[in-house]
Amino acid sequence: MSLADTARKLDALDPIAHCRDEFDLDPEVVYLNGNSLGALPSAVAPRLAEVVNEQWGRRLIRGWGEGWWRAPERIGDRIAPLVGSAPGQVVVGDSTSVNLFKALVAAIRLNPGRPELLVDAATFPTDGYIAESVARLTGVEIRQVPMPEAAEAVSERTAVLLANHVDFRSGVLHDMGAITEAAHRVGALVVWDLCHSVGALPVELDAHQVDLAVGCTYKFLNGGPGAPAFLYVPQRLQAGFDQPLSGWCGHADPFAMAAGYTPDAGVTRGRTGTPDILSMLALDAALDVWDKTSIAEVRTKGLRLTDFFLSCVDELLGDRVTVRTPRTENRGNHIALSVPEAGQVMKELISREVIGDYRPPDVLRFGFAPLYVRYTDALTAVQVIADVL
């Protein structure tokens, strides 16, 4: 069977093919960059129009008492099943960088007397920048460690390990359970960055007794550019979660306008300032698609889709590219290929309506969002790459 016939057959048998209808997509574009910015869900524009014209336009400030004020917790509870969390442990708001700052400082405060902050040596740059700032502010030492060595690197000196669930360049999926367990054996805490795994594959925060986690919502959750991030604080740590950005929205009684800060008893203490309601409710609409599928179905398709892409790469590209992503199941939903002049190659691909992205020095990165990417898209992308090369 030809690759084209295989792609058509796989698309015809795809049990979540109907989810593509939930997105506003240009049929002429092969979009393989959902790991940077998800596609636009069709539900977002009408929902935002209603929020702007009716809620803001007609209800005005009454909107805060009619659903806006508790949106961070309510939407957090919608994300909770996607990260393996019970309700009341996820709150939405601020950016990933801001939430990471909160989580790292709080983790160090939860684990005093330990002088070391371990950081994934291949971490996304903003995580490293935030970690360096946290280390300066708290007086701990920062040490970089390759994630495959993290379980052995944690020690009695380690206050917290900052770990990425999926590597943003290579797509390698790290073992959350094993790494968290190794950290706990020596009394260390772990903060997990879920930006490249939430909405792409199952995450089991509660089952693995994860301490704290952060993630963005504009990639595989399709919340839109600059959509608010989320923060996970399990119930067992909420009473001691002393975050450094103690804004009024995290106060136990924010409208009392008290001079002193008393944190809320629950995950609300993770909030800081007034939430961005327009972005928040756009994300709320984007999450509606998860009522029509499950993260297990998405993961199954994600592995099959990337397997098919790799088979196309092997047949059509051969040794002209080097695959940097594992071919086993310990990968996320993006594939990294190394080629000479990768930046220029990606520019040419984008000019031909195949949209991925480039990571220095030589990586072409293609993200497969199973909710809307088809097997025929994967084949088309490889055919265009072959032509460009």
Q: Is 124 a catalytic residue?
A: yes
Q: Is 120 a catalytic residue?
A: no
Residue-wise pLDDT for 82-139, tens only, equals: 999 999 999 999 999 999 999 999 999 999 999 999 999 999 999 999 999 999 999 9
Q: Which of 245, 277, 100, 116 is nearest to 183 (CA)?
A: 116
Report the mean per-residue pLDDT for the chain: 97
Residue-wise pLDDT for 216-228, tens only, equals: 999 999 999 999 9
Catalytic residue among 365, 366, 374, 375: 365
Q: Which of 348, 352, 355 is nearest to 373 (CA)?
A: 355
Residue 271 is given by DSSP the state: -
Percent of the chain with pLDDT over 90: 100
Residue-wise pLDDT for 179-197, tens only, equals: 999 999 999 999 999 999 9
Catalytic residue among 124, 308, 309, 375: 124
Distance, in Å, from the CA atom of 250 to the CA atom of 243, rounded to the nearest integer, reads 10
Catalytic residue among 218, 230, 308, 309: 218
Q: Is 357 a catalytic residue?
A: no
The pLDDT of residue 1: 86
Distance, in Å, from the CA atom of 106 to the CA atom of 108, rounded to the nearest integer, reads 5
Catalytic residue among 14, 193, 211, 362: 193
pTM, two decimals, is: 0.97
pLDDT tens digits in sequence order for the chain, 389 residues long: 899 999 999 999 999 999 999 999 999 999 999 999 999 999 999 999 999 999 999 999 999 999 999 999 999 999 999 999 999 999 999 999 999 999 999 999 999 999 999 999 999 999 999 999 999 999 999 999 999 999 999 999 999 999 999 999 999 999 999 999 999 999 999 999 999 999 999 999 999 999 999 999 999 999 999 999 999 999 999 999 999 999 999 999 999 999 999 999 999 999 999 999 999 999 999 999 999 999 999 999 999 999 999 999 999 999 999 999 999 999 999 999 999 999 999 999 999 999 999 999 999 999 999 999 999 999 999 999 999 99
Q: Is 365 a catalytic residue?
A: yes
Question: What amino acid occupies position 233?
Answer: V
Residue-wise pLDDT for 36-54, tens only, equals: 999 999 999 999 999 999 9
